[in-house]
Amino acid sequence: MTDIQNGPNRLPWPPIIYLAAIAISIALGLLFPLPWISAPLSDILFAAGWLLVAAMVALDFSAMRTMARAKTTIMPNRASEHLVTTGAFSFTRNPIYLGNTLLMIGVGLITGIAWFLPLAIVAAFLTQKLAIEREERHLEGRFGKRYRDYAKRVRRWI
């Protein structure tokens, strides 16, 4: 059970998870490189990767700006002061985590390191289990019906 006053977690799991997944992807790419798609499809994937990175930057910027305006913490291990439902939070309950996942996929497409793709999925799964589900319990305990109504309207990821 999470502590409503102190926050959903003791550790800020999402940055730890995504940084570890990036490091593991790079290490595996160096030690055990997987085959990658050749041109011209690789050129299209390269461009798509940059689009995903751009989407991540826009999504994260929008989410952080919205949270700053609401005067609530961006730290995933601290208690939320306000329920944020506008901006990027109006179409995904976890825009920063979605952005982190898009970043990993985008970097994988740009670099051609195939390990980024499955590890992005693993990182998203671990983030959901170690952070999102706990954050949801924290938000429901803190904001009650307002959070439950929001969760019915807006998807967890996309």
Q: How far apart are CA 154 and CA 33, in angstroms?
A: 38
Residue 78: pLDDT band (50, 70, 90) is confident
Pairwise CA distance, residues 24 & 43, whole Å:
25
| Count of CB atoms situated within 10 Å of the CB of 70 | 17
The number of beta carbons lying within 10 Å of the beta carbon of residue 60 is 20
Cis check: omega of the bond before 40, within 30 degrees of 0? yes
pLDDT at 1: 46
Task: Report the SS3 class of residue 7.
Answer: strand
CA distances to 88, 113, 157 from 92, in Å: 6, 28, 5
pTM: 0.89
The pLDDT tens digits of the residues spanning 92-147 come to 999 999 999 999 999 999 999 999 999 999 999 999 999 999 999 999 999 999 99
